[in-house]
Chain A
Amino acid sequence: MGFDITSIRNDFPNLQQTVHGEPLVYLDNAATTFKPQSVIDAITNHYSHETSNVHRGVHHLSEVATAAYEGAREKVRAFLNANSTKEIILTSGTTDSINLMAQSYGRALLDEGDEILITEMEHHSNIVPWQMLCQEKGCVLKVVPMNDDGELIIEEFHKLLNAKTKLVSVVYISNSLGTINPIKDIIKAAHAQGTSVIVDGAQAVSHTEIDVQDLDCDFFAFSAHKLYGPTGVGVLYGKEALLDTMAPYRGGGDMIASVTFEKTTYNVLPYKFEAGTPNVAGVIGLGAAIDYLNTLDFTDILQYKQKLLAYGTDQLSSIKDLRLIGTAKQKTSILSFVHPLIHAHDMGTLVDEQGIAIRTGHHCTQPVMKHFGVPATSRASLAMYNTTEEIDALVKAILHAVEVFQ
């Protein structure tokens, strides 16, 4: 099929604009990706022609909207290679998915003294829900450390994993470092200990093909907006047998089979976790994003992004005194860096003047910042529609910033 960058860029209307008089260079894809026209059209179409609630009415539009909504669920199932759509819970995002896990699965499973194992490179959304649970239940949060390249110290993981570990929750790909963790090994070792594993796949879905059966993960969370889809939609995949044992997390409409004031019986999977009117248009948009990706070849995308990463790493490394944060052997196209003369926020403002969008700050991973002894980093995160010319523009803008601060 080949990888046609020009044609891909043409699919994303957001790319076709100038910022401060310069062509926009968008390098903040780990925060959120742009949406192809087909996703925007799918959402517009829902609001223009198919607006209706789902699972409620017998009228025509409700049937149409329900079919589109459930069709999107099936697309997600196929995208993850899950066994059944019963295993696909639609949420509002990764954060919501992890909170569901903590409040439903975690709360029922964990007792005082039990341990939850996470890593030093987790996003705050895979730290705070567990801390809240630990506070409530008296369990203990254990943290697998990383080395100075931003790689997990896997021997430490094996040491920390023990009979008291009731849950392992790990980020597949780090949003602040780009590290790809050896997720399959982690899952295998945890299963040997009888421990379930939750995978935070927020960054992974746009970077690598996901097969939840091959990974054998018990749960997998991601957000549509980092996969060229809309904000406000996410997914929690869970093995059916485990989801079956879990109690609902929120109560309301749609998640029930019958309600009387004496007793409520819950709906079947996946609906028992989907209380209230869902983000119908958003879910349809997620389905369209998956359709869009299916027109491309993941191997091509991956190769192209690895090429961008290698080029970007070379170019940034050539800047005097610039330090790359996150130099794992296995990593994706995320380039975090610091410069001794320039605070990340000044860097962000100065490159923005040239129309270049990067992220500056702690990236919701304050423990990572602490590890590297920096308050913040600048981060360029590259998507499949970025180009080496855009990396050149970034390098030029950084050199200009250095000159200003010299």
Chain B
Amino acid sequence: MGYDSKTELYQQVILEHNKKPRNFGKMDDATHDAEGYNPLCGDQLHVYLHINADNVIDNITFEGEGCAISKASGSMMTQALKGKTMDEAKALFTEFHDLVTGKLNPEKCEHHLGKLAIFSGIWHFPSRVKCASLSWHTMKGALDKEQTISTE
């Protein structure tokens, strides 16, 4: 069609993860899991973690319905967290949260976000920040042993 996208929101990486989300599906032997819900759009997802005796996330999956941003974010989160300790996961949660709310500028501050820095532009879209953060809030809720997480 006649025009280019004007925003950086829908980059190839995000579109690709949306189409082929990694670690997508239920985990039967999860040690931690939680359900996340965004009442604004009705998006719902479930995050499953398997945490071993050393407090390391040796497996993580997610499933559910959502927009491209929430799916891609969930997919990339599972990639980023596999092999991390619970404490590292919580620290990364904080960094990601700061990133999508515009408090952390990945070009200026030191961070451990790696590829996740792609979500940095989303704070320009206040109504979409929750799409990006839903999987992360749900993951954190699972670690904290909360059953249902709502973004409101």
CB <8 Å contact, B67 and A345: yes
The answer for the CA separation of A260 and B116 in the assembled complex, in Å, is 67
CB <8 Å contact, A349 and B42: no
Asked whether any CB of chain A lies closer than 8 Å to the CB of B68, the reply is yes
Asked whether any CB of chain A lies closer than 8 Å to the CB of B1, the reply is yes
CB <8 Å contact, B6 and A376: no
* B65 contacts across to A, CB distance below 8 A: 375
Closest A residue to B40 by CB, please name it.
Answer: A361
Interface stretch (choices B7-15, B73-81, B88-96, B143-151):
B7-15
| Residue in B10, B67, B128 whose Cβ sees the most chain A Cβ within 10 Å | B67
Of the candidates A349, A361, A369, A403, the one whose C-beta lies within 8 Å of that of B125 is A349
A361/B68 contact (C-beta < 8 A), A400-B3, A404-B15, A405-B15 known: no
CB <8 Å contact, B42 and A343: no
A375/B41 contact (C-beta < 8 A), A350-B10, A405-B15 known: yes
CB <8 Å contact, A366 and B69: no
Nearest CB on B from A166, distance (A): 31
Of the candidates B1, B5, B6, B128, the one whose C-beta lies within 8 Å of that of A345 is B128
CB <8 Å contact, A344 and B128: no
* A396 contacts across to B, CB distance below 8 A: 1-2
Asked whether any CB of chain B lies closer than 8 Å to the CB of A112, the reply is no
Asked whether any CB of chain B lies closer than 8 Å to the CB of A216, the reply is no
Asked whether any CB of chain A lies closer than 8 Å to the CB of B66, the reply is yes
CB <8 Å contact, B2 and A343: no
The answer for the CA separation of A369 and B43 in the assembled complex, in Å, is 12
Asked whether any CB of chain B lies closer than 8 Å to the CB of A399, the reply is yes
Asked whether any CB of chain B lies closer than 8 Å to the CB of A329, the reply is no
Asked whether any CB of chain B lies closer than 8 Å to the CB of A346, the reply is yes
Number of interface residues of B (CB under 8 A): 24
The answer for the CA separation of A354 and B7 in the assembled complex, in Å, is 10
Asked whether any CB of chain A lies closer than 8 Å to the CB of B142, the reply is no
CB <8 Å contact, A403 and B9: no
Asked whether any CB of chain B lies closer than 8 Å to the CB of A362, the reply is yes
* A360 contacts across to B, CB distance below 8 A: 41
* B5 contacts across to A, CB distance below 8 A: 350, 353, 400, 404
* B1 contacts across to A, CB distance below 8 A: 396, 399-400, 403
Asked whether any CB of chain B lies closer than 8 Å to the CB of A20, the reply is yes
Closest B residue to A342 by CB, please name it.
Answer: B68
* A399 contacts across to B, CB distance below 8 A: 1
CB <8 Å contact, B67 and A346: yes
Asked whether any CB of chain A lies closer than 8 Å to the CB of B44, the reply is yes
A window 342-398: CB within 8 A of B: 342-346, 349-350, 353-354, 360-362, 366, 369, 375-376, 396
Of the candidates B9, B40, B44, the one whose C-beta lies within 8 Å of that of A349 is B9
The answer for the CA separation of A185 and B10 in the assembled complex, in Å, is 49
| Residue in A345, A349, A362, A405 whose Cβ sees the most chain B Cβ within 10 Å | A345
CB <8 Å contact, B43 and A375: yes
CB <8 Å contact, B41 and A344: yes
* A350 contacts across to B, CB distance below 8 A: 5, 10
The answer for the CA separation of A346 and B19 in the assembled complex, in Å, is 13
* B60 contacts across to A, CB distance below 8 A: none
Asked whether any CB of chain A lies closer than 8 Å to the CB of B131, the reply is yes
CB <8 Å contact, B15 and A376: no
B window 29-68: CB within 8 A of A: 40-44, 65-68
CB <8 Å contact, A345 and B3: no
Nearest CB on A from B68, distance (A): 5
A346/B69 contact (C-beta < 8 A), A353-B7, A403-B1 known: yes
Question: Could you tell me which B residues sit within 8 Å of A by CB distance?
Answer: 1-3, 5-7, 9-10, 15, 18, 40-44, 65-69, 125, 127-128, 131
Question: What are 5 inter-chain pairs, A to B, with CB distance below 8 A?
Answer: A350-B10, A353-B6, A362-B42, A400-B1, A400-B3
